Chains A and B, each alone.
Chain A
Amino acid sequence: MGLRNFVDKIKPTFSEGGKLGFLHSTFEGFETFLYVPNTVTKKGAHIRDCNDIKRVMIVVVLALIPATLFGMYNVGYQAGIEGVFPAFWYGFLKSLPTIIVSYVTGLAIEFTFAQKRKHEINEGFLVTGLLIPLVMPVTIPLWIVALSTAFAVIIGKEVFGGTGMNVFNPALLARAFAFFAYTPQMSGEAVWYADGKTGATALEQLGTTGEMQWSALDAFFGFMPGSLGETSTCAILIGAALLLFTGVASWRIMLSVFVGGLAMGYVFDLAGMTEYPVYYHLLVGGFAFGAVFMATDPVTSAQTNTGKWIYGLMVGALAVLIRVVNPAYPEGMMLSILFMNALAPLIDYFVVERNIARRKKLIKNVK
């Protein structure tokens, strides 16, 4: 294998003491990206199978592909372009700069921090870098994307110690930053799809009039305006199937988010506060996207099984609560997931404490 030989040949240059030794982390990042590392854990055995973070992250990226491709097509479709391929091409050209900017900014910061702290480059940003463009409007100015990405990676992740230490989901943090800092460019009626075309999104229409101009089927397949990756519930579910099949994401969280959202929707329906069918909540806006790709983030969600149920139910319920009750935020998914990210450790704490108490009681009964 030519590539393997080449990598081995240049390895000494980048190792400690080599000419480019200070780029050690960068080299290692690329090497392990190309080949599964052949080093083994020294203290204790943690290896369950041949999987590692890089492979897990690649699965998530693969799961995001259907939603991304459909989103690109949808951009062209919303702009009124005839034909599948021309519409896709139009959307592809519109969204590619956002994706590139997000990856370049984020990876540059990750690489810099990894070099400075002399640890290996973490893989988390492979997913975050794609998630960020998917939850932003297509027409967003590129400098906002760069700024939000930088904010999310530095303040949201690196200050806590990098991948695996962050409290909040970095992609959602980027969106939250852009949303609060540059509200006019992020939401509202002025934003939208392509050049010159604007209009209220489905969520805003539901919030103000109780109806939307798209049918439920349109909403399911995603033929409506929205952020790049979030419109098609169908494409998201294909990704969800892959995540569940490979065991990368927790089915408990996914299921309980949907259940929580539906339950809260029925509460408002019975109270007479909403006049549209309850399942609309799951089809419009970022609900499905958040449930499948954001809430299930293994770092920021609850870790215990019972905790996952509680966490998921509350994410779903809060999202619908914010949507219906607070007119200032037609989209509640982002805020509810970020809020529950902050509460997840607390949920875990109580679940663990309860388990300890239960086991103690068992011991007492035996005596």
Chain B
Amino acid sequence: MKLSKNFTNPLAANNPVIVQILGICSALAVTVKLEPAFVMGLSVIFVTAFSNLIMSLLRNGVPSRIRIIVQLVVIATLVIVVDQVLRAYMYDVSKQLSVYVGLIITNCIVMGRVEAFALGNKPWDSFVDGVANGIGYALILVIVAFFRELFGSGTLFGFDVLARFGYVNNSLMLFPPMALIIVGVIIWIHRSINKDLQEK
């Protein structure tokens, strides 16, 4: 019971991007196309899941004064692993993502989950929490990228979808401001469904 709530909460009601407004920068940067957004989402899921797991395992052995440094070492190691794997097996995508893979280290969601959850909870719960938060982040990224690629380039994952119907590409979709507006619209819809989240 507790586990499933841990898992479903970050997907919608407490989504890291649209409720906690974390990780916005990369949501703007990597969502021009679906493919990089998808890969970025997977990378973040991996990093949040395993940094949560490792820090939860270490939580009783790390003095709280130096915990930030230990967290950084763990997260940085995981990010470098992700980066190297991407370079080895998905070179094109890793070039499109450029610095944003490295910048997962500074993604507030990763550090936030470790600080807020993993340091006070058991390894399995922490792992689930990390996976769920990563999925919550990836979900928004993919939704934004879906609209940006579909209306900006007329394609999905590189396949022609709209172009064959004589669709004229909307180049504003390729600019970062439009990603911000789409995130805003998602928040708007989300809040009008979940009325308890509306600010007074």
Closest chain A CB from B28 CB (angstroms): 16
Task: State whether A159 touches B170 (Cβ < 8 A).
Answer: no
Task: State whether A181 touches B171 (Cβ < 8 A).
Answer: yes
A-contact 0/1 string along B173-189, CB 8 Å cutoff: 10100000100110010
A-contact 0/1 string along B154-198, CB 8 Å cutoff: 000000000000001011110100000100110010000000000
In the complex, what residues of B have CB within 8 A of residue A177's CB?
172
In the complex, what residues of B have CB within 8 A of residue A155's CB?
181, 185
Complexed CA–CA distance, A239 and B132 (Å):
60
One of A159, A182, A183, A185 near B188 (C-beta < 8 A): A159
Task: State whether B172 touches A181 (Cβ < 8 A).
Answer: yes
Most buried by B among A155, A159, A181, A183: A181
Task: State whether B168 touches A182 (Cβ < 8 A).
Answer: yes
Task: State whether A182 touches B171 (Cβ < 8 A).
Answer: yes
One of A159, A181, A183, A185 near B173 (C-beta < 8 A): A181
In the complex, what residues of A have CB within 8 A of residue B171's CB?
180-183
Task: State whether B168 touches A159 (Cβ < 8 A).
Answer: no
Give B151's nearest chain A residue, CB to CB.
A181
In the complex, what residues of A have CB within 8 A of residue B168's CB?
182, 185
Main secondary structure of the interface of A (DSSP, over half): helix
Complexed CA–CA distance, A159 and B171 (Å):
23
Which residues of A172-191 have CB atoms within 8 Å of chain B's CB atoms? 177, 180-183, 185
Which residues of A319-364 have CB atoms within 8 Å of chain B's CB atoms? none
Give A154's nearest chain B residue, CB to CB.
B185
In the complex, what residues of B have CB within 8 A of residue A159's CB?
184, 188
Most buried by B among A180, A182, A183: A180
Give A183's nearest chain B residue, CB to CB.
B171
In the complex, what residues of B have CB within 8 A of residue A185's CB?
168
Q: Give chain A's interface residues, CB within 8 Å of chain B.
A: 155, 159, 177, 180-183, 185
Q: Give chain B's interface residues, CB within 8 Å of chain A.
A: 168, 170-173, 175, 181, 184-185, 188
- Sample 9 A-B pairs with CB under 8 A, ordered by A number: A155-B181, A159-B188, A177-B172, A180-B171, A180-B172, A180-B175, A181-B172, A182-B171, A183-B171
